[in-house]
Chains A and B, each alone.
Chain A
Amino acid sequence: MSMEMVWLVLMGLVLGGYFVLGGYDYGTQMLYPLIGRDERGRRVVRAALGPFFFGNEVWLIAFAGVLFGAFPRLEGTLISGLYPLFLLLLLGLVVGKAAVQLRSRARNAQVWDVLIVAGGLIAAVGWGLVVGVLLHGVPYGTDGVVTLGWSDVVNPFVVMSGVSNVLLLGGHGAVFLTLRGSGDIVERARRLARPLLLGAIAAVALTTALSGGTAVTRPTVAFILVAALVVALTIAVLLVARNRSGWAFAATSLAALLPVPLVGAGMYPYFLTSGEGGLTVSQGAADHTTLMTLLPFGLVLVPVIAVYQAWSWWLFRGRVGPTTPTYF
């Protein structure tokens, strides 16, 4: 395996970790007023996010860091090329994160509740759109600059990618709450999980049906990954019906993660392409010396991070209730 491939996989793991962990945060935020019907219930939903809220977000920051370190030429082109989408995402993330933490201390509870939901929704839509835009194909100029137009975002395939991600992360968040909540929270989350997951399956199928003319370079690989996504969601529906919350969460986690290899492998050898020409993985990567120098750190640290985060989940495992601490 070439050095670029090792880093592509490591970066994919970090981004995948973020999609799974940040994903249930956003799903939970979107469902927050539906599942937390009264003040007490809403408090439980916020407490469910509890000790992992910072740790989940760091996966995104680490993705940006690894992107800059290992694929610096991609970093500038991707983020500045998709500027409006990343602007929207960052604003959604900042507002949502701040709202979840400040809500307990705030006077105008309703305003903060709206911000919590809006933050989750914007993040879920935003990442769906980013994945959709990349798969659909970005206008990659001969000068190596990407300039996004309206038609690159507002088209059926990309919009359906956004919708798919909202339903997928909604289902993921609902399953998370069946695992983490208590009392009537669990019951409401379970009732919501089923339609959300079924909706996600339908949305993914429709998006796939619209995928003619996209910039996917390896359609077979892409179809296998999409099929795996649909299977994972279907299994999650069945497991939720049987009250197997832990395994259902594993299934929705896999579903939330699969868009990462879908972009990485489905577009290979390109990162950014309009269908013909574009920025390849090796063009986007840092120089061999840099990748080599960073490699020991990447190979050691990513597993170490996974271990201490797992330790944190283990220590704070179990269901949360009305007396579980929240932020502030």
Chain B
Amino acid sequence: MDVVDLARLQFAGTTSIHWLFVILTLGLVPLVAITHTAAVLSRDQERKAKLLRATRFWGQLYVVNYALGIVTGLVMEFQFGLGWSGLGKVAGNVIGAPIALETLIAFFAESTFLGMWIFGWGRLRPALHATLIWLVALTAYASAYFILVANGFMQHPVGHEMRDGIAYLTDLGAVMTNPSALLALAHVTVAALMTGAMFVAGVSAYRYLKGDREFFRGWLRWGTVAGAVLSIAVYEVGALQYPLLGRTQPSKLAAAEGGGFVALAHDVMVYLGYTINTITAIAAILVFFRWAVRWVAWLTVVIVPLPFVASLGGWLFREVGRQPWVVYGELTVDQAVSHVSTATMWTSLIAFMAVLLALAIANWWLIVRFVRRGPDGVHIGQEEQWA
């Protein structure tokens, strides 16, 4: 493999692992925010206690995922400079802006306020405490928006002009309202929410099977129904992108039907999507009418990984499908790749993959551990932790 292949593999690997954290973060944070708010607003003390318990349980799983995910984001932020120095040189005038705005507007606030939320139990006024998690949720989605604006420019470059081989920003509004970015944001948003719902359903089903029925019955029902409804939305919103592809990236659309890797990635997304549609719809109906609940519960646990795999298929379709372009029609991967030796690139590829995979494994190991311990084993919000 040459440097371009290695750099592409490194970017694909780091982004994919990062994404597995991101999709769950985006999927869980609105749920934590809504549950926390409902708890704060609730006047019935018993209901309030129950909702706070749920907030801490789901919040714990969310925090584990965020805390380990943030370090994968650190690696991501440097990938452009490490592997693709030509991108900054050619398109930096345009693509750098959303990246800079993402860090200053969104990421800063998200990390700071989440730190305050995690350690704020028993220290902050409840209304303020719940407001913090809403700020975290808003800025998480703002991050997704800015990143997709940068990615949207690479798919469908707008709002700029090329002079002497360098892109110059002419219309920030056009860059920020790029249909390629907005449609992807809508698709990613519903996909993340569906992933969150299926995660909640799977975790609740597991606890239900372990005998924790009273607390998790409602969450199981909620998760399966939301998963079923959202999976239809993922399909509908995703399909809106095909006409845009036809106009802006006809070669990608052709590749989706042409066999080969791009078609495979596309099919993984689509057929797993159909599978999720079908299973969640059946599960929702069965759970709602309380038929064969044990059987459905097991099924719900087993399908938790499916949306993660499907979304990776979607990303690979979107990214590999525009090859050989980094910025569609304007900058190829060969032009953009950094002047780095093959040996260096091999070293970094292996090192990053080893560390990031270890993080992903540690993440799921820890999530499973907290799920097995249940709401009584939650760490956040506990006062006396050292006995």
Q: Interface residues, chain A, CB within 8 Å of chain B?
A: 40, 43, 50-55, 57-58, 60-62, 64-70, 72-73, 75-80, 83-84, 86-87, 90-91, 93-95, 97-98, 101-102, 104-105, 145, 147, 286-287, 289-290, 293-294, 297-298, 301-302, 305, 308-309, 312, 315-316, 322-323, 325-328
Quick check: is B338 within 8 A (CB to CB) of the other chain?
A: yes
Tell yes or no: B359 within 8 A of A by CB: yes
- Of all chain B residues, which has the CB nearest A54? B111
Contact, CB under 8 Å: B115 / A312: yes
Does B85 sit at the interface, judged by CB under 8 A?
Answer: yes
Let me know if B339 and A80 touch, CB within 8 A: yes
CA distance A328 to B344 in the complex (A): 36
Q: Is the interface of A mostly helix, strand, loop or mixed?
A: helix
Residue of A nearest to B109 (CB): A308
Interface pair A78/B108, CB less than 8 Å apart: no
Residue of A nearest to B81 (CB): A79
Given A58-B108, A78-B81, A80-B339: A290 touches B67 (CB 8 Å cut-off): no
Count B-side interface residues using an 8 Å CB cutoff: 78
5 inter-chain pairs at a CB distance below 8 angstroms, sorted by A residue, are A65-B102, A79-B78, A286-B93, A287-B168, A297-B104
Q: Does any Cβ of A come within 8 Å of B75's Cβ? A: yes
The answer to the question of B170 belonging to the interface, with a C-beta cut-off of 8 Å to chain A, is: yes
Q: At the interface, is chain B mostly helix, strand, loop or mixed?
A: helix
The residues in B between 352 and 387 inclusive whose CB is less than 8 angstroms from any CB of A are 352, 355-356, 359, 362, 366, 369, 379-380, 382-386
Q: How far is the CB of B53 from chain A (nearest CB, A)?
A: 17
B interface residues with partner A (beta carbon < 8 Å): 60, 63-64, 67-68, 70-75, 77-78, 80-89, 91-97, 99-105, 107-109, 111-116, 118-121, 123-124, 166, 168-170, 172, 338-340, 344, 347-348, 351-352, 355-356, 359, 362, 366, 369, 379-380, 382-386
Chain A residues with Cβ below 8 Å from B362 are: 98, 102
Of residues A55, A68, A69, A286, which shows the largest number of chain B Cβ atoms within 10 Å of its Cβ? A68
The distance from the CB of A38 to the nearest CB of chain B, in whole angstroms, is 12
Minimum Cβ distance to chain A for residue B80 (Å):
6
Do residues A72 and B96 form an inter-chain contact, with CB atoms below 8 A? yes
Contact status of A76 and B85, CB under 8 A, knowing A87-B351, A312-B112: yes
> Is B107's CB under 8 angstroms from A287's CB?
no
Q: Evaluate contact between A66 and B355: CB separation under 8 angstroms.
A: no
- Known pairs A52-B115, A87-B348; A75 contacts B169 (CB<8 A): no
Contact A76 B124 (CB under 8 A): no
Give Cα A60–Cα B123 distance, bound, in whole angstroms: 28
Specify which chain B residues have a CB less than 8 angstroms from the CB of A145 in the assembled complex.
339
Q: Which of A61, A97, A290 contacts B107 (CB 8 A)?
A: A61
